[in-house]
Every structure is written in C-alpha cells, then in structure tokens.
Amino acid sequence: MPCEENWTIDVVFNSPADTTTRTLVFCINFNGDTISGDVDLLVNGELRDLSLVTGTIRVLPNVLTPNPNRPVRLMSLNFTWGGTRVLLSGTTFPVGAQNRFDGDISAFSVLAAGAPSGATSSAPTEQIVGPSDGDKGTGTGTQT
C-alpha cells in the first residue's frame, strides 16, 4: 500500500529488565484527522510485520513554526505488538528539513483494552519480543 507519510520511531520502555531500543516503521495514510496504515518492527536490518495501525492526527493551529505549511501536530497511533495493544502518542514538529516525533508509549493487555479492527501479528513471537501489559516508555523519530 502506498503511504502518505513514512515514520521511523525508536521506542524504549521504562522497564529496568529491558532497556532495549526498538525501531518501528510506520506507513500511514490520512482521511481527515483519521490515520490508517501498518507498522513493522526492524529486526537485524529486516522489517517484520507487526499489525495494522489506526490513529488520529490534529494540527495545533496556534503554535507558530518557521513554515506555516509544516504545522505542529498531535499524533496517536494504536496497534498490536505480539499479544499486546500499544498506544504511541506525541507531537510532530518541523526541525530543519525533517519532521520529528516526540512522544510516549503505553502497552495494554489486548483482553483488557481491545485492539484495532484487523490488527494481527503475523510473525512468530520469539522474533518480535514486545511489551507487556502496563509497560510505558518513550518514542522519538523522524518522518522518512
């Protein structure tokens, strides 16, 4: 599927047992303020399919940027990772020629919180070690 925007976002969970940085690659499209697309995990230089992604995006109209065609936006991305629902939310903002993302990530039990319609994990779980229920962390990245 063609993407309106591609994002590469590094996430780190605030767990003393696991401080590994993981790289997520998003292919997202917009329908007004609604996001759809898919997300992959970068493992040893290869992309592994995680799930479909849904979300929202909203422009912050009163935040001044050097280029009004590149506004500051609030973005939330909802997807599954292994058997866990994940919410990645934060701010996108222009830095030089690129757009940056800075946000937080939270993980929830799929049974407790539900998952986006059609969200599945097609890769073996031993290759995609994901977050556990209640994990929190940070995410930073760039539009690619």
Q: How confident is the model at residue 112 (pLDDT cuts 50, 70, 90)?
A: very low
Q: What is the separation of C-alpha 139 from the centre of its chain, rounded to a whole number of angstroms? A: 8
Q: Beta partners for 17?
A: none
Residue 124: which CATH number?
A: 2.40.128
Q: pLDDT digit string (tens) for 53-66?
A: 999 999 888 787 77
Instruction: Domain count for the chain, please give it.
Output: 1
Mean pLDDT over each residue of the chain, to the nearest integer: 80
> Domain containing 81: what range?
5-143
8 within 8 A of 22, measured Cβ to Cβ: no
Report the Cα 67 to chain-centroid distance in Å.
25
